[in-house]
Amino acid sequence: MSDPLPALCARFRERFGVEPSAVVRAPGRVNLIGEHTDYNDLPVLPMALQRELRLALRPRRDARVVLCNLDPTFGPRNFELAPAIEPFPQGDWGNYAKAAAQILARECGVQRGFDALIEGDVPPAAGLSSSSALSVACGLACAHANELAVEPLVFADLMARGERYVGTHSGGMDQAICLNARADHALRIAFHPLRVEAVPLPSSWRFVVAHSLVLADKSGAAREAYNSRRAQCAAALREMLAVPEVAAAGASYPELLERLGAERLGWIAAQRLEGVLLQRFRHQISEGMRVARARQALIAGDAETFGQLMDESHASLALDYEVSHPELDRLVELARCHGALGARLTGAGFGGCAVALARQADAERVVAGLRREFYAARAVPAALAEPVLVARASAGASVQLWRPAHARIEPAATDRAERGEGAR
């Protein structure tokens, strides 16, 4: 694929009349296992995708943030950088930029705004974390404009807390993978404190990511469904902590799982909890165990076990956590039929994508089977250029200084632009 940055920077020049000074890249991600566990501080195992968001920027002299998007669905937005920023209406894309800007103004004192032009190919509302790619990219742009250097794990924690501005009580997985991902690796992410371990992906494994064509729009009903899951997990934990044996073991999901073990914890939960709280709790502890086993399977190169854990994860998300959708169930079933070793919904669910593990030799068969038996019978929106892809584990977000080609030949012209003598 040709380098997309020169074209983006040329469009920036057209729009703002001056060269950008830097380009930020922030990838989407696919979570391999550990779903809906990050907000309970239980580990997750995602990898970054080759799909990414790109943002060309130039710092301004004032506190204004001016955002343009090459996708006309996302109209221009601008706002003033401040420690308390009034949100745009709920669901507005500009709120992800405000989220990052507000927390950096509050906790790092940034004051200088920037002009930005954005493009990307992470499909929105697909469970591939387009929202965090956007907030992380805006956060990095803001940090760059203010010459602020923050260590990636600290920045990930800031961005995760910042993103709650949009009203989703999310965990910290997306920002952590976006900022810390490593090419050819999955990342085991643990929380509180945030820490990451890069685990190499066997070269013969392929992860196929397939869109259900159902949007999981977390600014609408899916947001309420997501937040209610988190509240139910907190309620289940409170109930469990009323049992002296449980309270003696700790106060958080990871502590209880580590000290009591899944079996004992499951037995106590079956006595103490019922209905939805029992289901949610059961998913948390079983998924927590699956992540630990999946990590071992990954290290051992044991694709069968990893696939089986993905299947079990999907069953738990569908039955106990109730976040699947008939179209996701169908994708998962078809992927397995066409040679995948395991498959599951990925991301928050309610629509969005499924992920399937296949051996290299079988990946194209899985893709072809899905095309034939899923996509051929459905209308695929043109905006979704390619609804199924073989994921390439990619590097995390980066900020790259932009030196236009002519600047290398005519340094004087660049100097003028850098002194702000362009037509802003």
Catalytic residues, which ones?
174
Taking CB atoms, the residue at the shortest distance from ligand NG1 is 347
- For residue 391 the two structure tokens come to 């994921």
**Considering beta carbons, is residue 20 or 28 the nearer one to ligand NG1?**
28
* Contact present, 285 and 237 (Cβ < 8 Å): no
Residue 127 as a binder of ligand NG1 (CB under 6 A): the answer is: yes
Q: Report the C-alpha gap between 317 and 311 in whole angstroms.
A: 10
Q: Which of residues 26-55 bind ligand NG1 (CB under 6 A)?
A: 31, 35-36, 38-39
Q: Which of residues 361-400 bind ligand NG1 (CB under 6 A)?
A: none
Residue 311 as a binder of ligand NG1 (CB under 6 A): the answer is: no
Interface size with ligand NG1, residues (CB under 6 A): 18
Instruction: Candidates 129, 180, 279, 324: give the one binding ligand NG1 (CB under 6 A).
Output: 129
User: Minimum distance from CB of 180 to ligand NG1 (Å)?
Assistant: 15
Cβ-Cβ contacts under 8 Å for 134 (sequence gap 6 or more): 26, 53, 93, 96, 97, 118, 120
* Strand ranges, E, within 34-140: 45-59, 64-69, 77-80, 114-120
Nearest CA to 46 out of 170, 169, 192, 179 is that of 179
Residue 174 as a binder of ligand NG1 (CB under 6 A): the answer is: yes
User: Which one of the spans 55-63, 65-73, 151-159, 171-179 is the region binding ligand NG1 (CB under 6 A)?
Assistant: 171-179
Q: Report the C-alpha gap between 102 and 80 in whole angstroms.
A: 10
**Considering beta carbons, is residue 21 or 40 the nearer one to ligand NG1?**
40
**Considering beta carbons, is residue 41 or 362 the nearer one to ligand NG1?**
41
Residue 218 as a binder of ligand NG1 (CB under 6 A): the answer is: yes
Q: With DSSP H G I counted as helix, E B as strand and the rest as coil, what are the percentages for the chain, rounded to 5? A: 45, 20, 35
**Considering beta carbons, is residue 12 or 350 the nearer one to ligand NG1?**
350
Residue 94 as a binder of ligand NG1 (CB under 6 A): the answer is: no
User: Minimum distance from CB of 117 to ligand NG1 (Å)?
Assistant: 23
Helix (H) or strand (E) holding 400: strand 398-401
Residue 173 as a binder of ligand NG1 (CB under 6 A): the answer is: yes
* Contact present, 45 and 188 (Cβ < 8 Å): yes
- For residue 202 the two structure tokens come to 């066997």
Instruction: Candidates 43, 113, 167, 171: give the one binding ligand NG1 (CB under 6 A).
Output: 171
User: Minimum distance from CB of 256 to ligand NG1 (Å)?
Assistant: 19
Instruction: Candidates 40, 69, 168, 324: give the one binding ligand NG1 (CB under 6 A).
Output: 168
- For residue 228 the two structure tokens come to 């209610």
Helix (H) or strand (E) holding 374: none
Instruction: Candidates 95, 102, 131, 212: give the one binding ligand NG1 (CB under 6 A).
Output: 131
Q: Report the C-alpha gap between 244 and 336 in whole angstroms.
A: 44
Instruction: Using the Cα atoms of residue 214, residue 70, residue 170 and residue 27 in order, give the sign of their dihedral.
Output: positive
**Considering beta carbons, is residue 31 or 212 the nearer one to ligand NG1?**
31
Binding mask 146-165 for ligand NG1 (x = CB under 6 A): -----------------x--
Residue 187 as a binder of ligand NG1 (CB under 6 A): the answer is: no
Residue 287 as a binder of ligand NG1 (CB under 6 A): the answer is: no
Q: Report the C-alpha gap between 375 and 382 in whole angstroms.
A: 13
Q: Which of residues 312-351 bind ligand NG1 (CB under 6 A)?
A: 347-348
Q: What is each CA distance from 188 to 84, 181, 182, 221, 420, in whole angstroms?
A: 34, 10, 11, 30, 44
Judged by the rule CB under 6 A, the positions of this chain that interact with ligand NG1 are 31, 35-36, 38-39, 127, 129, 131-132, 163, 168, 170-171, 173-174, 218, 347-348
